[in-house]
Amino acid sequence: MFSTTIDYIALFYLVLLLWIPFYWLLFHSAIRFWRRMGNRAFWMALPAWLIFTMAIIFTRHELLARRVERNALTWVAGGALFFAASWLDVQTRHALGWRRLVGIAELNPGHESSSVVRTGVYARLRHPRYLLYMLMTLSMAFLTGAVAIFLLAILNILMYQILAPLEERKLLDQYGPQYRDYQRAVPRFVPHLGRSPEARISS
């Protein structure tokens, strides 16, 4: 029963998170078009997400078929990754607010929330959202032991190593020196230890 519950949780997070890199590429490759569409862009993205969701649901047995043996180490690793990702999720939501989270600032560059966020977790990491997506997907791999989910998690991590620099290039074009200063002060995925975030940003 417990293992089945874990499987359903894993499928939920796969549906929720795995499509994000592909959505990013689709969204940013045609950003001018989506900005002309305004908030209607969210409804246009819905069919793509539904297709992706159905693909996960129809292949769920294949995704969960082959497993590595789970033990105390894999449970601890999966649980620790899950709680780290959940903590990052809470911190990211608090720092960004719902308008940024749903993409209003991206669709409307002149919106009042369109500026570089340097508070909270964003004072320590440039891409906490991407990090939480990677950690959460990897946690599902450890918790289920599914070989296919391990492979998807690795692919997901590799994709964010590509997406993060691409996004930063766009942010440099959008914010210029403001983002370059932030980029120099704050690491991408692994936080600095010792110095306070305020000291790094102001230096």
CATH number at residue 190: 1.20.120.1630
H helices of the chain, in order, are 2-17, 20-29, 31-37, 40-58, 60-63, 72-96, 98-101, 104-107, 128-144, 147-175, 177-185, 197-202
Per residue in 81-102, pLDDT (tens digit) is 999 999 999 999 888 776 666 5
Q: What is the pLDDT of residue 101?
A: 63
Q: What is the pTM of this model?
A: 0.83
Token pair for 45: 């993205």
Flag whether pLDDT at 15 surpasses 70.
yes
How many CA atoms, within 13 angstroms, populate the side-chain half-sphere of residue 185? 22
pLDDT band at 30 (very low <50, low <70, confident <90, very high): low
Flag whether pLDDT at 113 surpasses 70.
no
Q: Domain count of the chain? A: 1
Distance between CA atoms of residues 164 and 168, nearest Å: 6
| Nearest by Cα to 79 from 133, 121, 135 | 135
Identify the domain containing residue 164 by its residue range.
Answer: 2-202
